[in-house]
Amino acid sequence: MSAGAPIRTFDAAAVAAQFPILQREIDGRRVVYLDSGATAQKPASVIEALDDSYRLHNANIHRGVYTLAQEATERFEGARERIARFIGARPSQTIFTKNVTEAINLVAYSWGRRNVGAGDTIVLTPMEHHANIVPWQQLAREVGARLAYVELAEDGRLDLDALDTLLKLEPKLVAVAHVSNVLGTRNPVEEIVRRAHAAGALVLVDGAQAVPHMAVDVEAIGADFYGFTGHKVYGPTGVGVLYGRRELLEAMEPFLTGGDMIGQVDFHESTWKELPWKFEAGTSPYIEATGLGAAVEWLDALGLDAVHAHEQELTRYALQALAEVPRLTIYGPAAEHRGAIVSFALDGVHPHDVAEILGREQICVRAGHHCAQPLMRRLGVPATTRASFAAHTTPAEIDVLVEGLARVRRIFEL
């Protein structure tokens, strides 16, 4: 099968064949990559797009009139158009950032410092990544606002009645993960947006763990801001995306200033370019953007509905298999409310030890607090081990994970 070719009947093993790194053997063992929640591996078509850009089309964008510069600009803006279609947005509302962390900081600075003041409330959830907590803490500290957190139900889902109670405080913003990077909880963002808007609040959605795994239509969701990170969507590092409602973006001041985002500069004042370039100061990650464009094109070829169905079935299989492991606790909701993530803890064994022993067999999982320390405190644990899945993950790899956990138990005589 050629790299990037459509797969009519979903076949995860055939998908895996498109990833050069997944063909590696280390110490005689094939890599079993179960850490896509941290970063996704790259299919050959994405690697080839990056290589092609560097080899044949590399020049700074938006400036040169020679052929190479025109080609680079066309590839960059063409990638923006593909990515905008992929998330149901318009190119003018699709802003390239370094990652979703920068996207959230952009909103916190450019929108937050003009619209949030002393005594105002910002609503968060305990399952947020630090990237969707710390910028709001900084904003609240600077302007005298306060943070309020929606309670979690026992199964790791949000308590929407608790949300309604907080919405009575008339918050300025609700910031929520589409999918938790620890619990895997798939939050009902459309319903959250509806309730928040009815209370007069805006909504920012962190889509880092959602966009690689399911069809996302930002306009259908109704979010005021939606961000995601390229390297988790099978694209390169160094590029992310922020979507925002046009009227909000137009009213916001730039987050970063300098070259390429200006309309005109005089000795004492400047004007800005129109959207989206107003928020893209300096030389943009134009090579990385073309790689992300290739990644979403590759995902489109697979079919996101097929990817989502495969990962849902795989997650259900993983939950059932891991539930059979003695003394193992799984965190988060049932499969029907969960993305492609399973976090767990083995009684009596530190999660880092679990991950280290699995790593000896080239089973790649993540251990730690997953940049979600408030959630760890809520769960009453210092850390968890996390397995996260992708389009290329197979049930056989889940079996290898379970076998690896059996070895951990033997080593610790559990």
pLDDT at 63: 87
Q: Which amino acid is at 150?
A: V
Q: Is the pLDDT of residue 288 over 50?
A: yes
364 as an active site residue: the answer is: no
Q: How confident is the model at residue 5 (pLDDT cuts 50, 70, 90)?
A: very low
> pLDDT of 387-408, one tens digit each?
999 999 999 999 999 999 999 9
Closest listed residue to residue 230, CA positions, set 10, 49, 30, 20: 49
- Please state, in angstroms and rounded to a whole number, the distance separating the CA atoms of residues 221 and 196: 12
Across 172-189, average pLDDT: 98
- What is the structure's pLDDT at 145? 98
- What does 150-168 look like in DSSP terms, one character per residue? PPBPTTS-B-HHHHHHHHT
Residue 54 to residue 33: CA distance in whole angstroms: 28
Report how far apart, in Å, the C-alpha atoms of 301 and of each of 160, 214, 257 are. Answer: 36, 14, 37
Nearest to 99 by CA among 240, 235, 290, 218: 240
Give, in order, the Cα–Cα distances in Å from 378 to each of 125, 148, 327, 395: 11, 15, 20, 31
Please spell the DSSP secondary structure of 248-292, one letter per residue: HHHHSPPSS-SSSSEEEE-SS-EEE--TTGGG--SS--HHHHHHH
Q: Is residue 1 predicted with pLDDT exceeding 50?
A: no
**For 22-27, what is the mean pLDDT?**
96
Residues of the chain within CATH 3.90.1150.10 domain(s) are 12-43+303-411
Calculate mean pLDDT across residues 357-384: 97
CA 380 to chain centre: 25
d(CA 249, CA 276): 9
Q: Is 279 exposed, middle or buried (0-12, 13-18, 19+ CB in 10 A)?
A: buried
Which residue is catalytic, options 371, 381, 402, 414?
Answer: 371
Residue 25 makes CB contacts below 8 A (sequence gap 6+) with 31, 362
Mean pLDDT of 85-92: 98
- Counting every residue, how long is the chain? 414
Confidence of residue 6 (pLDDT cuts 50, 70, 90): very low
pLDDT tier, 9 (very low <50, low <70, confident <90, very high otherwise): low
- Per-residue pLDDT of 199-210, as tens digits, reads 999 999 999 999
Residue 165 has pLDDT above 80, yes or no: yes
Residue 4: band (very low, low, confident or very high) from pLDDT cuts 50, 70, 90: very low
| pLDDT for the residue 10 | 82
Closest to 85 (Cα-Cα) out of 254, 208, 241, 260? 241
DSSP 37: T
Give pLDDT tens digits for 220-260. Answer: 999 999 999 999 999 999 999 999 999 999 999 999 999 99
**Domain spanning 49-300, CATH architecture:** 3-Layer(aba) Sandwich (3.40)
- The percent of residues above 70 in pLDDT, for the chain, comes to 98
Q: Could you give phi then psi for residue 8, rounded to 5 degrees? A: -65, -50
Average pLDDT over residues 130-158: 98
What pLDDT, on a 0 to 100 scale, did the predictor assign at position 237?
98
Q: Give the pLDDT band (50/70/90) at residue 261.
A: very high
CATH, domain range 12-43+303-411: 3.90.1150.10
Question: What does pTM read for this prediction?
Answer: 0.96
Looking at the predicted structure, is the pLDDT value of residue 7 above 50? Answer: no
Taking 60 as the threshold, does the pLDDT of residue 2 lie above it? no
- Enumerate the CATH 3.40.640.10 domain ranges in the chain, comma separated: 49-300
